[in-house]
Chain A
Amino acid sequence: MKKAIIFVVFAAFLFFAAYEIHPFGELDDSRMDDYIIENAQNETAANNVVTSVVFDYRGYDTLGEATVLFTAIAGALVVLRRVKNE
């Protein structure tokens, strides 16, 4: 009974979220895109706007990506080093 209630509540939330979701293919607010297209070359002095977004406007994100890479490699080295030393 409890499980059924939880299931119904979660299904209701799911359908509500699916109903409220942004319509597929409809244009979104473009202020952010316009700002980046207009100002990226002046603010970051780079021609490649994609790189200026990845490394400058979203630099924290790239730092996190580099941390993910570091963690994955540290894990692989820790797991596989024991095999080498035995």
Chain B
Amino acid sequence: MSEERMSVIVTTIASLLFPFIFIFSFYVIMHGHLTPGGGFQGGAIGASAIVMLIVAYGAREVYKKASDEKLSIFESVGGLLFVLVGILGFILAASFLSNFLVGEPIFGNIPPFGSNPGELNSGGILPLLNIAVGMKVIGGLASVVLIMALAGGEKK
């Protein structure tokens, strides 16, 4: 059981780095409408943080904290959020996925034309969709790597 676990140095550094990588992932997701990146890229970064924990601690130990069922639920909630935002656009504005938040107080500030520093409180529904896709990618990639590590570690 504990032979999957790497040495104390590796596990300590992995635990130290994990929150920073996750914060960076959240930053890339949240600034998807301002800087390069977005839901897919930030989600891949967050999934790689969980993969780092799997490498350091072994799949079983990570499975106790975050099983693939939980990660799948996280992913499905992201997918539902995406569709829900699309349907809200259908109800509140013209069509499915129409940007109904432009000009509203939440995420609705319209930036001036041309290059400008940008602000977080803009983008309409784009930040919501980025969060949804980010949740999907974090949950999906992490659950796939976790289940593959569990299946690969099985030796009889």
Give residues in A with beta carbon < 8 Å to B.
41-48, 50-52, 54-56, 59-60, 62-63, 65-67, 69-70, 72-73, 76-77, 80-81, 83-84
Contacts and interface: CB of A to CB of B under 8 A. Distances in A.
Contacts of B118: 47
B110 A41 contact: yes
A63 B97 CA distance: 10
A63 B86 contact: yes
B126 to A, nearest CB: 5
B102 A70 contact: no
Contacts of A77: 68, 72, 143-144, 147
A59 B122 contact: no
Interface string B78-120: 0100110010000000001101011100011111110010100
Contacts of B144: 72-73, 76-77
Given A41-B111, A47-B34, 18 more contacts: A41-B113, A45-B102, A45-B110, A47-B118, A48-B34, A52-B33, A55-B32, A59-B86, A59-B96, A60-B97, A65-B40, A66-B133, A66-B136, A76-B148, A77-B72, A77-B143, A84-B151, A84-B154
Contacts of B72: 73, 77
B138 to A, nearest CB: 11
A83 B151 CA distance: 6
Interface size class of B (residues with CB under 8 A): 35 or more
A48 B40 CA distance: 15
A52 B79 CA distance: 19
Interface of B: 32-36, 38, 40, 68, 72, 75-76, 79, 82-83, 86, 96-97, 99, 101-103, 107-113, 116, 118, 122-126, 129-130, 132-133, 136-137, 140-141, 143-144, 147-148, 150-151, 154
Q: Which label, helix, strand, loop or mixed, suits the secondary structure of the A interface?
A: helix
A42 B76 CA distance: 32
Nearest to A63: B82
Contact of B108 (A41, A45, A67): A45
B143 A51 contact: no
A84 to B, nearest CB: 6
A72 B72 CA distance: 12
Nearest to B110: A45
